[in-house]
A = this chain, B = another copy of it.
Amino acid sequence: MSRPESRLGAHLPVSPPTLADVAERAGVSRQTVSNAVNNPDLLRPGTLERVRGAIEEMGYSPNRAARNLRTRTSQLIGLRVSPVQEGTANAMMDRFVHTLVETSALAGHHVLLFTGDDEDPVAGYDNLLRSTAVDAFVVTDTYLGNPQAAWLAQQRAPFVAFGRPWDRASARHPWVDVDGAAGTRLATEHLIAKGHTRIAWIGWRKDSPIGEDRRAGWLKTMHEHGLPTTGLASRVEDTVQSGGEAAAVLLDESEPTAFVCASDTLAMGVLHTLWLRQLAPGKDIAVVGFDDSQVAQVYPVGLTSVRQPLEDVAVEIVNALQSLLSHQPAPEDGVLLTPTLVVRESS
């Protein structure tokens, strides 16, 4: 039987062919076409070729909604976009998201963006989950006490976090993270190799576990090399101005010859202070940032910076998601990746 003519006129978009249309054309049943798409091994080579020909000719693509309804999946991965922070240098999400989208595509998934209510941070997740609009989530902002990860774990919703669960109390769940301490260790050892001995740290306030992790890398490396750290550390807000002020104080009081910073934003502040004092970055004073943001790349005096392997993070997250969705429990519950150091003129 031929499908009812739903083309009201040539000016309206034609409705795409269905499984039944292809089946009729190829002279087989619906199920055979379905198998040709999903389980080609089940078909005799001749039949497969014929069906594939029909699919090709008609430009058939399985209707997503129908497939999703039947299989109870959506092939979608939810990603909440957090508000843009202007005035800071961390626009690295671009890099991450791009690779995430690409890698998911290889695994047959697409990425769905959504925003959250500020009042109820889990509202967005809850909606998508209950309407079975996504198969899984990627949770990116895992600051301390982030309720989302715990909530999702409690709901037994499949998700992978970019970021370690910092509070041990929270339920276990798969995660992928970058070893911040290893990054600052790289930076510190690079500076030590350059002959620096008085290396200062400018980081975030104590309530940031990520900041403390990065600080630990600097601290431990300094100690291992028997270098002084007292009076050489500063913890401030993540703004250019704070970084600049901290650098000024440290320069006055402790005379460091190099700075390791918890972010490129802070490093920009340091560079500003150096500029005000007519000190040449990379010659008089070395500076290393964190995140390899576009600022670090574009700044005329190239800023040496710790670069997070965001592409690898995305790949690992998709891996974890896949084993999660195929109900194979992830081998371990976390993957920790090591960043690299991009050396530029500032060190």
Residues of A within 8 A of B (CB): 11-13, 15-16, 59-66, 68-69, 72, 74, 76, 81, 83-84, 86-89, 91, 93-95, 97-98, 101-102, 105, 110-115, 127, 130-133, 155-157, 240, 244, 264-265, 268-269, 271-272, 275, 293-295, 297-300
In the complex this chain forms, how many copies of it are found?
Answer: 2
Q: Is B131 in contact with A294, judged by CB distance below 8 angstroms?
A: no
A97 contacts across to B, CB distance below 8 A = 81, 113
Selected from B110, B127, B264, B300, the residue in CB contact (under 8 A) with A275 is: B300
Known: A65-B72, A81-B97, A84-B95. 15 other contacts (CB 8 A): A11-B156, A13-B156, A16-B131, A65-B69, A65-B74, A65-B132, A81-B101, A83-B98, A86-B294, A101-B113, A110-B114, A112-B112, A265-B298, A293-B294, A294-B294
Selected from B15, B66, B84, B111, the residue in CB contact (under 8 A) with A69 is: B66
Please report the C-alpha to C-alpha distance between residue A156 and residue B11 in the assembled complex, in whole angstroms: 8
Please report the C-alpha to C-alpha distance between residue A222 and residue B68 in the assembled complex, in whole angstroms: 59
With A156-B12, A268-B300: A61-B295 Cβ-Cβ less than 8 Å: no
Q: Is B74 in contact with A64, judged by CB distance below 8 angstroms?
A: yes
A298: min CB distance to chain B, Å:
5
A127 contacts across to B, CB distance below 8 A = 61
A300 contacts across to B, CB distance below 8 A = 240, 244, 268-269, 271-272, 275
Q: Is A110 in contact with B94, judged by CB distance below 8 angstroms?
A: no
Q: Is A91 in contact with B91, judged by CB distance below 8 angstroms?
A: yes
A91 contacts across to B, CB distance below 8 A = 91, 94, 294
Q: Is B114 in contact with A297, judged by CB distance below 8 angstroms?
A: no
Q: Is A112 in contact with B110, judged by CB distance below 8 angstroms?
A: yes
With A69-B63, A94-B84: A105-B110 Cβ-Cβ less than 8 Å: no
A98 contacts across to B, CB distance below 8 A = 81, 83-84, 115
Please name the residue on chain B nearest to A133 by beta carbon.
Answer: B64
Please name the residue on chain B nearest to A300 by beta carbon.
Answer: B272
Q: Is B13 in contact with A155, judged by CB distance below 8 angstroms?
A: yes
Selected from B113, B155, B298, the residue in CB contact (under 8 A) with A87 is: B298
Please report the C-alpha to C-alpha distance between residue A251 and residue B71 in the assembled complex, in whole angstroms: 66
A295 contacts across to B, CB distance below 8 A = 294-295, 298-299
A66 contacts across to B, CB distance below 8 A = 65, 69
A157: min CB distance to chain B, Å:
7
Q: Is B12 in contact with A86, judged by CB distance below 8 angstroms?
A: no
Q: Is B298 in contact with A240, judged by CB distance below 8 angstroms?
A: yes
A269 contacts across to B, CB distance below 8 A = 300
Please report the C-alpha to C-alpha distance between residue A269 and residue B299 in the assembled complex, in whole angstroms: 9
Q: Is A298 in contact with B81, judged by CB distance below 8 angstroms?
A: no
